[in-house]
């Protein structure tokens, strides 16, 4: 068993597993944060201009985090998850922008 552990360390398998675990935690944390944030936002229709601008800023910060994962993730599975999450955020950002344009007109 000691040889197996040494071999895993020597080949770098342990380091790769640690990196994947850290990426999994980071990705899960961002997914949880996005889900919680979007749930908290609720509907955009009844929001003031200030609230919509704050929401827009928060979504943009989350998009920046996702962009970083897409660019640095070496695992295609995590890139795909991040791209799907980015699409969800962009959809909500578009909805906020649309509502902002409606609020500005009124």
Contacts for 30 with CB less than 8 Å, ≥ 6 apart:
62, 65, 66, 69, 85
pLDDT (0 to 100) of residue 86? 94
Range with the lowest mean pLDDT among 4-8, 27-31, 63-67, 97-101?
4-8
Q: Is the CB of residue 89 less than 8 Å from the CB of residue 59?
A: yes
Of all residues in the chain, what percent carry a pLDDT higher than 90?
Answer: 42
Average pLDDT over residues 63-72: 87
């Amino acid at each position: 068993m000691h040889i197996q552990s040494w071999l895993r360390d020597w080949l770098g398998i342990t380091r790769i597993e640690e990196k994947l675990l850290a990426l999994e935690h980071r990705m899960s944390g961002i997914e949880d944060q996005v889900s919680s944030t979007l749930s908290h936002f609720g509907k955009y229709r009844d929001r003031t201009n200030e609230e919509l601008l704050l929401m827009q800023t928060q979504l943009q910060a989350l998009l920046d985090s996702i962009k970083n994962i897409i660019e640095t993730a070496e695992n295609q599975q995590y890139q795909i998850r991040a791209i799907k999450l980015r699409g969800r955020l962009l959809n909500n950002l578009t909805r906020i922008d649309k509502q902002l344009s409606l609020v500005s007109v009124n």
